[in-house]
Structure 1
């Protein structure tokens, strides 16, 4: 099978062998860079969905998601990272998370993916979808307690839907993004209220 047609999980299951020793975030992007932005979105959303204590899920992966999604908005063929963000080193635990638990999660979702509803994947709609990805990346980057999971799932579904040309999955990711935004607002407000009450004591 042509590598560009392989399921995302097939490539991710071999990521440890593909990456150089002591890889950085830019190495991960380079390893996936020949694939569409959808695959990269799916892979870098995994740490926001799978419990990953000790990993820089919020700021680093949220910022990376914002940049990939911005590339979609402007029609970029290959996502790019700023030098400083690209130099962030990926720990062995992060690579193991992607290669094992990430692969297992993707395989479960990919079983339900197939090319359909192509009308939802036109170039203008994909660019608009990038704006949704930007918002989800921002929500992941913000320090909202328990606020990573739903935005991460939305981006994961978006990425897999784009990679598989599944318009219904992409539509589902937008619906989930709306829910994630509402939940994040509620969680953020609850955290603010709790902090204000604690300071006021």
Structure 2
């Protein structure tokens, strides 16, 4: 689950060049990653939830994929698999390249701060709990909550970085962000429903 020894930023930078030209699918992304590690897959799938991706419903596509991946973590699966309905969703290669190019410098800076510490945070039981947290974050990412994706995506990003580099502090930061993001999402949904109800009454 810890990923490989290569730089995560480098893996992110070269990924678009390893994908088929045109409009690769999520399955193409998984195939290009091979056995690089679950944490790297989580990292890559969380980024479009944070950085705007014009032209694709990134929240729905990547949120659904993250929910399925988190669910597989809960049951202790060793290899990521996506149903064909999700795996065959197409993503424009140019869009992916732009998103990853914007994210690479940020990941590189964050990566320098990571160290192997608090390994107990990543016990087998803890991994299942983290998977459950990712499922919740992913479901919220997939929902059309206004301005709601950034914190949710950052929580998954922090968790994935911590898992990739066995940094328990980063994992704890990710869990803290998840609690905050969940609260903000609930508040946004409540506020949106209140505005909608108020609008109906005025009309």
Q: Quickly name the TM-score band, shorter chain normalised.
A: over 0.9
Q: Distance in 1 between matches of 2:143 and 2:100?
A: 26
Classify 1:164/1:140 alpha carbon distance in 2 versus 1 (closer, same or farther; 3 Å).
same
Given that 2:122 and 2:168 are in contact with CA atoms closer than 8 Å, whether structure 1 keeps it comes out as yes
Q: Match of 2:142?
A: 141
State the distance in 1 between where 2:138 and 2:100 align: 22
Q: Which runs of 5+ in 1 are unaligned?
A: none
Shift of residue 54, structure 1, vs aligned partner:
2.5
Shift of the alpha carbon at 1:33?
3.4
Matches of 2:145 and 2:182, distance apart in 1:
12
Q: Secondary structure at the match of 1:76?
A: coil
Q: 2-side partners of 1:164 and 1:56: how far apart?
A: 30
2:57 corresponding residue in structure 1: 56
Q: Distance in 1 between matches of 2:197 and 2:133?
A: 31
Instruction: Indicate the residue corresponding to 1:172 in structure 2.
Output: 173
RMSD: 1.3
Aligned equivalents of 1:151, 1:191: Cα separation in 2? 18
Taking structure 1 as the reference length, the TM-score comes to 0.94
Q: 2:25 matched to 1:20? A: no
Runs of at least 4 residues off by over 6 Å: none
Contact map agreement 1:9 1:103 (CA 8 A) in 2: yes
Gaps of 5+ in 2: none
TM-score scaled by length of structure 2 = 0.93
